[in-house]
């Protein structure tokens, strides 16, 4: 169960993002009727012309990585702000806590499962990679 459950959650979350992202790129599922505030929000994102295709592409690629079990900590990191937005959207603008709870819970569970991968990122001071000297890094000076 210890090895199977994380894999099942990872594949389910990946499939959700893969299908949702693909549906944003090439609509094949109908969009449910949204409350006015939620519709205005989605309309504003669509009006930018770039945001929804970018979001969809990120969801498709990261969902595929989760399904494949490759670069899982990276995929979870990239998807974290998307998951927060999904949770807030479905809590504040279009109440639907079931899906939001699953996505948020799966993200937190998987981040905890892969927590060892995040250790070096969460250190205040990290050693420089072997063969690279900090003194060789130069920053441009302000004029």
Instruction: DSSP letter for 127, please.
Output: P
pLDDT above 90: percentage of residues in the chain: 76
Question: Strand runs (DSSP E) across the chain, as ranges?
Answer: none
Q: Is 129 helix (H, G, I), strand (E, B) or coil?
A: coil
Looking at every residue in the chain, the average pLDDT score rounds to 91
Q: Shortest CA distance to 83 belongs to which of 67, 99, 60, 64?
A: 99
pLDDT above 70: percentage of residues in the chain: 90
pTM of the model: 0.85
Residue 7, Cα to own-chain centre: how many angstroms? Answer: 17
| Average confidence (pLDDT) over 33-60 | 96
pLDDT band at 87 (very low <50, low <70, confident <90, very high): very high
| Average confidence (pLDDT) over 57-77 | 98
The tens digit of pLDDT for each residue in 94-143 reads: 988 899 999 999 999 999 999 999 998 888 887 777 666 665 556 567 66
The tens digit of pLDDT for each residue in 25-34 reads: 999 999 889 9
| Average confidence (pLDDT) over 64-71 | 98
126/122 Cα distance (integer angstroms): 9
From 13-17, 74-78, 105-109, 118-122, the region with the lowest mean pLDDT: 118-122
Residues 74/77/78/83 CA torsion (nearest 10 deg) = 140
pLDDT at position 49 over 60: yes
CA 32-34-38 angle, to 5 degrees, is 135
Q: Shortest CA distance to 90 belongs to which of 100, 79, 101, 103?
A: 100
62/14 Cα distance (integer angstroms): 7
């Amino acid at each position: 169960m210890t090895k199977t459950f994380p894999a099942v959650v990872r594949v389910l979350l990946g499939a959700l993002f893969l299908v949702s992202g693909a549906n944003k790129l090439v609509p094949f599922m109908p969009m449910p009727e949204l409350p006015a505030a939620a519709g205005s929000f989605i309309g504003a994102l669509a009006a930018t012309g770039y945001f929804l295709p970018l979001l969809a592409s990120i969801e498709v690629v990261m969902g595929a990585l989760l399904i494949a079990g490759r670069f899982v900590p990276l995929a979870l990191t990239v998807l974290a702000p998307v998951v927060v937005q999904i949770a807030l959207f479905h809590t504040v603008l279009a109440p639907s806590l079931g899906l939001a709870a699953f996505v948020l819970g799966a993200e937190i569970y998987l981040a905890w499962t892969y927590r060892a991968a995040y250790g070096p990122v969460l250190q205040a001071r990290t050693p420089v990679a072997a063969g690279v000297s900090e003194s060789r890094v130069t920053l441009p000076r302000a004029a």
